[in-house]
Amino acid sequence: MDDHSPRDDADAQALAPTSAPRVYETPPKERPITDAEAARAAQLAANEHIKIASGYLRGGLAEGLLKHATGAISEDDGQLVKFHGMYMQDDRDLRPERTKKKLDKAYSFMIRLRIAGGVISPKQWLALDDIAVTYAGSALRATTRQTFQYHGVIKSNLKRTMAAIDAALLDTIAACGDVNRNVMAATNPAQVGAHKAAHTLAKDISDSLLPKTSAWREIWLDGERVVGGEEEAEVEPVYGRTYLPRKFKVVVAVPPSNEVDIFAHDLGFIAILDKKNQVTGWNVTVGGGMGMTHGEPDTFPRTADVMGFVKPEDAIKVAEAVMTVQRDWGNRKNRKNARLKYTIERYGLAAFRAEVETRIGKKLGEPKPFTFTNNGDRFGWTEGDDGRHHLTLYVPSGRIKDYEDGPQFLTGLRKIAEVHEGDFRLTANQNVIIANVPGAKRAEIEALVDQYGITKGAGALRRNSIACVALPTCGLALAESERYLPSLMTELEESLATHGLAEEEITIRSTGCPNGCARPFIAEIGLVGRGPERYHLYLGAAFDGSRLGKLYKEDVAASDIRDTLDPLFADFAKGRKPGEHFGDYLIRAGHVARTINGPDFHDRTGALKPAGHA
């Protein structure tokens, strides 16, 4: 599909006659409030006060680490520590028993790394493996943000863990928090020149938009404080004292693959390639985002707009301009409406683009045509156009560990890292690529993969699946996700097989809550936790990640999901057109309404006609 907007133009035009013209607000002209008294008077969100008082993200973290009576830190520091790449969590499986015994919760920390573009060396892989074995329960997790995170690191081991990460020439700065987070990039190993350009841009954006505070090094590595010792001696030239209103996510895509889900993020760059697969410039997308809140229709996921085209030399300036406009225009009173998607809905894309152009000192070009065909990974071996070889491995939910009587991911990949001469790449779909393997080394790598039972692929449904962590560690989870999705897929695979659809490519994603970390709203089958063993079921998204799904059924019991989908699979098998994807069919056949974009996400929900009528 040649689609320079995530929307379907015909549908947008069909809606136009019945839709009243949008009236947008006038954007603010002032920079964000940084005075504590003024922030209180303006009734800014609590996190704004925490940031203002933090002394550039220091807060009481250094002192809190010395309090050994508890494994926790203070509530305010729990917000600040996110900027350092961490979340405080507890094991919710253990909560009932510990509460019964009047014990403190089993607190620990999730630590997320900053790895722009998801590329690391074999030496770094071995260092991260050692950290996992020593401090994090012998498991690494490849995330949907194309990086690694550790779970279960206790407070007394935080500084040791951070020192080990630093020794590997990596860090966790800005992996979470109200800042630009880990920048994702296409990994396509067949397009070597384009991948290099995408990875370079991701790394340059990551470095350019990195917070400049020295707090991370001071607190975790016992570094020296800035001369003068007070915040007057330190500045954040881009962020200021209050950083951003909410998180900010940047991705770089290389067509025809949309593996990074460009339309699900705040800011994106789509490579425009010449006939030799070299990048001539970038289409810029703005205003995507997945999170929402159940029962609050003024919150919604949104697909990004294609705002314009930039030459390679202007991409970094555009990235900073987009982020600083969001810094100045974003909602700092209500965090639920603070992401860039709401800023654009509030002030309009035209005004936003005009302000970006003012800040970069030139006009953006008009978007160039491009085509996406999917948002999944290529599994198995691929030969790049430079003759080097790349092996994409399927890692269920990104959990790199040794499974009893199953794949030995941790041990096997460690053995591979000991002999690998290229690099490793994480994908946005939680998988791992053993990249840049010389032809002479391919057989050795293949033998190790087979020896340790590492999966080089999976069935069609699993190949296109993502799940967030959810229970037991995520404090926001309402339902299971990572631990539940494999058994559900087994049920659905059986159902698909009975209808002759076993090898049909269908995207399926699951999250334990509506924050949408596994991007479920942009999957053809999206499951979003509502409570223990209950999910909202979303259907009708596009296979290439360009269109949101629609709520098909509320509060579906886990035991009823297969029975709900089975008749739709039957209809699809009978009524689809050649090459038609599941999400597109459900809309064409009238089972579910098409979502044009975020504001109509909550309109015309539910099943439009009974299944079983192909």
Query: Cis peptide leading into 256, omega within 30 of 0?
Result: yes
474 is in an annotated binding site: yes
Peptide bond between residue 17 and the one before it cis (omega within 30 degrees of 0): no
The span from the CA of 547 to the CA of 550, in Å, is 10
Side by side, the strands of the sheet bearing 140-142 are 86-90, 107-112, 148-153, 140-142, 399-400
- Provide CB contacts within 8 A for 450, sequence distance 6+: none
What is the 3 state secondary structure string of 75-112?
Answer: HHHHHHHHHHCEEEEECCCCHHHHHHCCCCCCEEEEEE
For the annotated catalytic residues, the residue numbers are 112, 181, 247, 249, 468, 474, 513, 517
Of the candidates 335, 260, 270, 345, which has an alpha carbon nearest to the alpha carbon of residue 302? 345
Location of structure tokens 């999917």: 374
User: To 5 degrees, how large is the angle CA 227–CA 205–CA 220?
Assistant: 40
CB 114 within 8 A of CB 171: yes
517 is in an annotated binding site: yes
Which residues, in sequence order, are CB contacts of 220 under 8 Å at separation 6+?
84, 158, 159, 162, 163, 166
Residue 386 CB neighbour total at 10 angstroms: 11
List the beta bridge partners of residue 546. Answer: none
Q: Which residues contact 277 (CB under 8 A, 6 or more apart)?
A: 191, 193, 194, 385
| Length of the chain (residues) | 614
Instruction: Give the β-pairing of 107-112 and 86-90.
Output: antiparallel
Burial of 9 (0-12, 13-18, 19+ CB in 10 A): exposed
CA–CA distance from 172 to each of 250, 388, 419 (Å)? Answer: 17, 31, 27
- Give burial (CB, 10 Å; 0-12/13-18/19+) of 562: middle
Cα–Cα nearest to 308, from 235, 359, 367: 367
Which residues, in sequence order, are CB contacts of 296 under 8 Å at separation 6+?
A: 336
State the burial class of residue 251 (Cβ atoms within 10 Å of its Cβ: 0-12, 13-18, 19+): buried
SS3 150: strand
- Torsion (CA) 79, 80, 83, 87 in degrees, nearest 10: -50
Beta bridge partners of 283: 270, 309
Question: What gap in Å lies between CA 25 and CA 330, rounded to an integer?
Answer: 12
The token pair that represents 97 in the structure block? 């028993």
Residues tagged in the binding site annotation for [4Fe-4S] cluster: 468, 474, 513, 517
Residues flagged as binding site: 468, 474, 513, 517
Q: Which residues are annotated as a binding site for siroheme?
A: 517
